[in-house]
C-alpha cells in the first residue's frame, strides 16, 4: 500500500541555510570606531610633527645666538690698536680739504651703538674695517644688528666710515641698510667696560680711560681698549633661550692672565 505524502506545514522554519549580513546599526558603530581611531592616529602624528618643528626651531635659534656671539667676540679680538696710515699728500694745485680728520679710535660706545675699528678678516684683504653693533625697533620685535664698512686705508676713509656708522645707528638710510645684517631679536642690550678692577659704564669712565697727553698713536690707541667688555642681552620670551644672556670678552694682549 502506497503511503500518502504529508503536506508540508507552511509555518515550519526553513531548513536551508542562508548568510546573514550586517545591520545598519552595526555598520554605523563600526564606522564610528574607525573614525575615532583615525582621529587619535592623526593627533599623534600631528603632535610628533609639531614637536619636530619646535625642536628644529629651537636648534636654529641656539645656532643663531652662538653665531651672533661668535661674531661679536671675533670683532673684539680683531680690534686694531695701530692708527690708520695718513692720507697721501695733496697734488699741487689741488684744493686743501677742510674736513677735520680725527685720530682713529679702536672702540667707542655712545649708549646707542658700539663702534670699533678692526683688522680685515682675511690676511690678504688689506685695510681696516669699521664695524658697528646696534639695536633697532622695527615693525615687530627689536633686532640686534651688525654693520660693516668697506676697507679703509687712509685717515679720511676711516673718518667717513666712522661717521657713517654713527649715522646708521641713529637713522639708517637705504644705502646703509645694504651693509647691515640682522642677527637676532633682542629686547634690550647693555655694554660694560672692565677697567681698574671693576665693571663700569663706558659713558662714565671716559675720563679715567683717556690716554695721557703726548702718548704716541699706537700706545694711545691700545690704552683706549679696555681690559674687558661685557655684553648683556635681554632675549624675548618664546625663544629657545629667553631672559638675560651675558658674554664677557678679555683683551687677548692683556698681561697677567686676568679672567
Splitting the chain (259 residues) into consecutive groups of 10 residues, what average pLDDT does each group show? 56 54 80 83 74 78 91 92 48 40 82 92 79 87 93 91 94 88 92 93 63 45 78 88 92 60
CA distance 40 to 22: 26
Q: Which three cell numbers stand for residue 85?
A: 696710515
- Tell me how far apart the terminal alpha carbons of the chain are, to the nearest angstrom: 129
- The rounded Cα 125 to chain-centroid distance in angstroms is 26
CA 177 vs CA 149, 161, 181: distances in Å: 11, 14, 8
173 within domain boundaries: yes
The pLDDT value recorded for residue 259 is 45
The number of distinct structural domains making up the chain is 1
The pLDDT value recorded for residue 89 is 39
CB neighbour class for 37 (10 Å; exposed up to 12, middle 13-18, buried from 19): exposed
39 within domain boundaries: no
The pLDDT value recorded for residue 176 is 85
pTM over 0.75: no
CA 148 vs CA 119, 130, 159: distances in Å: 12, 6, 14
27 within domain boundaries: no
CA 39 vs CA 35, 49, 162, 166: distances in Å: 6, 15, 62, 58
The pLDDT value recorded for residue 228 is 95
Domain range enclosing 184: 53-86+102-250
**Cα atoms found within 13 Å of the Cα of residue 132, Cβ hemisphere only:** 26
CA distance 132 to 127: 17
66 within domain boundaries: yes
CB 79 within 8 A of CB 107: yes
The pLDDT value recorded for residue 9 is 55
Q: Give the β-pairing of 113-119 and 107-109.
A: antiparallel
15 within domain boundaries: no
The pLDDT value recorded for residue 73 is 95
110 within domain boundaries: yes
CA angle at residue 159 from 138 to 205, to 5 degrees? 75
CB 160 within 8 A of CB 117: no
132 within domain boundaries: yes
The pLDDT value recorded for residue 107 is 92
| Helices (runs of H) and strands (runs of E) counted in the chain | 5, 9
224 within domain boundaries: yes
Amino acid at each position: 500500500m502506497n503511503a500518502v505524502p504529508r503536506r508540508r506545514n507552511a509555518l515550519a522554519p526553513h531548513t536551508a541555510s542562508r548568510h546573514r549580513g550586517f545591520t545598519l546599526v552595526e555598520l554605523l558603530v563600526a564606522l564610528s570606531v574607525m573614525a575615532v581611531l583615525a582621529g587619535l592616529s592623526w593627533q599623534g602624528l600631528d603632535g610628533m610633527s609639531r614637536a619636530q618643528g619646535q625642536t628644529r626651531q629651537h636648534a636654529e635659534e641656539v645656532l643663531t645666538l652662538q653665531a651672533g656671539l661668535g661674531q661679536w667676540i671675533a670683532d673684539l679680538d680683531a680690534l686694531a690698536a695701530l692708527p690708520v696710515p695718513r692720507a697721501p699728500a695733496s697734488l699741487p694745485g689741488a684744493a686743501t680739504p677742510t674736513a677735520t680728520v680725527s685720530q682713529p679710535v679702536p672702540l667707542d660706545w655712545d649708549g646707542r651703538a658700539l663702534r670699533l675699528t678692526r683688522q680685515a678678516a682675511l690676511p690678504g684683504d688689506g685695510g681696516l674695517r669699521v664695524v658697528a653693533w646696534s639695536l633697532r625697533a622695527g615693525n615687530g620685535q627689536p633686532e640686534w644688528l651688525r654693520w660693516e664698512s668697506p676697507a679703509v686705508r687712509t685717515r679720511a676713509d676711516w673718518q667717513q666710515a666712522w661717521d657713517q656708522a654713527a649715522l646708521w645707528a641713529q637713522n639708517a638710510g637705504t644705502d646703509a641698510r645694504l651693509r647691515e645684517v640682522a642677527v637676532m631679536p633682542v629686547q634690550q642690550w647693555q655694554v660694560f667696560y672692565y677697567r681698574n678692577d671693576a665693571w663700569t659704564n663706558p659713558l662714565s669712565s671716559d675720563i679715567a680711560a683717556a690716554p695721557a697727553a703726548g702718548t704716541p698713536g699706537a700706545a694711545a690707541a691700545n690704552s683706549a681698549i679696555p681690559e674687558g667688555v661685557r655684553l648683556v642681552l635681554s632675549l624675548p620670551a618664546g625663544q629657545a633661550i629667553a631672559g638675560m644672556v651675558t658674554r664677557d670678552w678679555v683683551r687677548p694682549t692683556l698681561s697677567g692672565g686676568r679672567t
